[in-house]
Amino acid sequence: MNNKVEALKILVVEDSKVTVKVLRNYLAAMHVSAPLIAESGRQALEIYERERPDVVLLDIKLPDIDGFEVARQIRKMEGEQEWAAIIFLTAMNTDEDLARGIAAGGDDYLVKPVSEIVFHAKVRAMQRLVGMQRKLVDVTQKLDGANAELLRLSTTDALTGIANRRSLDHFMEREWRRCLRMKKPLALVMMDIDYFKLFNDKYGHQAGDDCLKKVADRIARAAPRATDLAARYGGEEFTLVLGETDQDGAMWIAERVRQMVADLKVPHYATGSKFVTISCGVVSVLPEEKVSLEILVKSADAALYQAKRAGRDRVVAGQYGKF
């Protein structure tokens, strides 16, 4: 029979040197050559905290605190995805003793003097449980990672890497409620790449995609705060949500973004500057019960339309409710 137990870290908590020697020999036969040893409950807790063993062979009667209390403390110390198999070593074998051990956090028990055959069987059983727990943690971590990636994909525009329309809608609702509570203004900047259809027709869709990515990057740089969000509204249109920002502050940020895009110097034959430019509409409002987020969006969109009618490559300050 192959008694080899691989990759297990075992802690033996026992104040009897004779019992420790016996258990060492049993473990050596299973190719666990260097178990951790503690002769008291407090020492066991110190070793557990430092080493995080997979299996704890725990004597109930110890010179300081008893094994039941040690087991309870170990369970308190375990992390959310941690678990150590606890096997009590005891001369007591009544139903009440077993129930007390399980209640304290134990998983099994061995009656002294410990039988080598029973010892090997129970350690192997704990090995299987530890292996299952490791696989469960691994699967859980992979699932968490997959869920996080799905969330990212569901809230991120695949082309530009900034927030998508769904994420924008959720963020605006949340920021609107927050600014309402805080009695702080909320600003929207609606932006559109000038003559983008002509750009695509002239330079091709790959160049169009590259242009969208570059513009999105510049817009995202203007939204570093947790109260800000840069999002792709749709097509060549983008939105900046600026929490706790009044009209003057939003105008300054919009003008900065407009200049940053112009500084990219992406060639575009159809614009006055012969480079890619953007138009911006800006509206800020103090959220109140009598005003609405929907009207704010329409007002900013109307300001953007005014910027385009006025010749593009400019920032226009709109007014809430005016469209």
Q: Is 230 exposed, middle or buried (0-12, 13-18, 19+ CB in 10 A)?
A: buried
CA distance 236 to 245: 24
Tell me which residues are annotated as active site.
236
Kindly provide the residue ranges of all beta strands, DSSP E only, lying in the chain, ordered along the sequence: 10-13, 36-38, 55-59, 85-90, 108-111, 186-193, 228-234, 237-243, 278-285, 315-317
Residue 147 structure tokens: 């869920």
CA distance 87 to 54: 11
Contact partners, residue 115, CB within 8 Å, separation at least 6: none
Is the Cβ–Cβ distance between 224 and 279 less than 8 Å? no
For 136, phi then psi, to 5°, come to -65, -45
CA distance 107 to 122: 10
Residue 154 CB neighbours (<10 A): 10
CA distance 207 to 202: 9
Q: Which of 279, 280, 282, 296 is nearest to 175 (CA)?
A: 296
Residue 232 CA neighbour count, 13 Å, CB half:
20
